[in-house]
């Protein structure tokens, strides 16, 4: 009895956890989370999980794991790192209160992350610097990276990439051998079979103004182009923005070191 009484006193003296605020969670979701998971927890694509009606405790646990890095996801690690414990509790409470998604339901892309100002850089092979090549074993692809003169010069000078910078990549399927493994050339890179699509990132004055701070990459916008040089519809910039977000000290560019060393 004494032990139980002592425990009761100890519990009574512990500070009560602040109750979660679903309305504050809704506001946070509307500005950031909705870009991928939808305003009501119904995601924008089959590759992104629905969060509507998920248990709040589970969501908080996962967000904490994403924040401290024990759960790995490049996009969500960057977002969760910016959330406070209060933010996590509020967002989790909001999603938990939403009705579960119907089979096949999907949210539309938020206009401010669907919009891109990046245009296809005609004549890039003659005017851009080809500065890097990367094999992607998981997808059996090889990518060739290019940069316009503005970006290349700034990188060489050790300066942040300024507005007007354009980085561009050709994405190719690798040639496969009889065992369906990529064939490598003498240089160690996969031999190209065919062009699949292009990716691009470019920065212009004010281009990031409509993007929430938790996602914003300065003034960078992103785009994917088909082989006939048309913007691919339905590209969610939020995924690109979140992935590049931790690279603020490198002008939000994964290959800045290679660009700086390009001849």
Looking at the fold, whether 180 and 249 belong to one and the same domain comes out as: yes
Concatenating the DSSP letter of every residue in 58-83 gives: HHHHHHHHHHHTSS--HHHHHHHTT-
Q: What is the pTM of this model?
A: 0.88
Tens digit of pLDDT per residue, the chain (263 long)?
A: 444 444 444 444 444 345 899 999 999 999 999 999 999 999 999 999 999 999 999 999 999 999 999 999 999 999 999 999 999 999 999 999 999 999 899 999 999 999 999 999 999 999 999 999 999 999 999 999 999 999 999 999 999 999 999 999 999 999 999 999 999 999 999 999 999 999 999 999 999 999 999 999 999 999 999 999 999 999 999 999 999 999 999 999 999 999 999 98
- 117 inside domain: no
pLDDT at residue 18 in the model: 57
Looking at the fold, whether 103 and 140 belong to one and the same domain comes out as: no
Q: What CATH number does the domain containing 211 carry?
A: 3.50.70.20
Strand-pairing partners, residue 224, are 199
Domain range for 152 = 124-260
Looking at the fold, whether 147 and 252 belong to one and the same domain comes out as: yes
Instruction: Say which residues have a Cβ less than 8 Å from residue 12's Cβ, sequence separation at least 6.
Output: none
pLDDT at residue 19 in the model: 86
pLDDT at residue 84 in the model: 97
CB count, 10 Å around CB of 87? 17
- 86 inside domain: yes
- 93 inside domain: yes
Looking at the fold, whether 79 and 186 belong to one and the same domain comes out as: no
- 135 inside domain: yes
Looking at the fold, whether 84 and 15 belong to one and the same domain comes out as: yes
213: DSSP letter: T
Looking at the fold, whether 135 and 255 belong to one and the same domain comes out as: yes
Looking at the fold, whether 69 and 154 belong to one and the same domain comes out as: no
Q: What CATH number does the domain containing 88 carry?
A: 1.10.760.10
- 113 inside domain: no
- 116 inside domain: no
- 119 inside domain: no
What ranges in 50-191 are assigned the alpha helix state H? 56-68, 74-80, 85-96, 111-114, 124-127, 149-156
Looking at the fold, whether 140 and 241 belong to one and the same domain comes out as: yes
d(CA 9, CA 76): 40
Looking at the fold, whether 134 and 255 belong to one and the same domain comes out as: yes
pLDDT at residue 161 in the model: 98
d(CA 234, CA 217): 20
119: DSSP letter: -
Count of domains observed in the chain? 2
Looking at the fold, whether 103 and 24 belong to one and the same domain comes out as: yes
pLDDT at residue 252 in the model: 98
Identify the domain boundary among 74, 107, 140.
107
Instruction: Say which residues have a Cβ less than 8 Å from residue 69's Cβ, sequence separation at least 6.
Output: 77
Tokens of 28: 């946070």
- 162 inside domain: yes
| Residue 167: its H or E element | strand 166-174
Looking at the fold, whether 171 and 203 belong to one and the same domain comes out as: yes
Identify the domain boundary among 107, 136, 167.
107
Looking at the fold, whether 248 and 221 belong to one and the same domain comes out as: yes
């Amino acid at each position: 009895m004494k032990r139980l009484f002592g425990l009761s006193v100890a519990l009574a003296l512990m500070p009560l956890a602040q109750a979660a605020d679903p309305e504050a969670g809704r506001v946070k979701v509307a500005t950031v989370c909705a870009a991928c998971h939808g305003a009501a927890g119904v995601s924008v694509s089959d590759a992104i999980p629905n969060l509507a009606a998920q248990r709040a405790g589970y969501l908080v646990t996962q967000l904490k794991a994403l924040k401290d890095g024990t759960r790995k996801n490049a996009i969500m690690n960057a977002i969760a790192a910016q959330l406070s414990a209060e933010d996590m509790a509020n967002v989790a409470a909001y999603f938990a209160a939403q009705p579960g998604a119907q089979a096949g339901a999907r949210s539309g892309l938020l206009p401010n992350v669907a919009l891109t100002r990046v245009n296809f850089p005609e004549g890039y092979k003659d005017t851009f610097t080809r500065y890097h090549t990367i094999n992607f074993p998981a997808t059996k692809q090889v990518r060739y990276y290019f940069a316009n003169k503005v970006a290349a010069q700034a990188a060489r000078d050790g300066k942040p990439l300024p507005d007007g910078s354009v980085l561009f990549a050709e994405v190719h399927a690798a040639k496969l051998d009889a065992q369906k493994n990529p064939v490598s050339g003498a240089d160690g890179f996969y031999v190209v079979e065919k062009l699949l699509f292009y990716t691009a990132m470019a920065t212009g004055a004010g281009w990031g103004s409509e993007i929430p701070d938790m996602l914003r990459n300065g003034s960078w916008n992103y785009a994917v182009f088909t082989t006939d040089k048309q913007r691919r519809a339905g590209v969610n910039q939020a995924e690109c923005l979140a992935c590049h977000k931790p690279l603020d000290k490198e002008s939000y560019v994964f290959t800045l070191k290679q660009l700086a060393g390009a001849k």
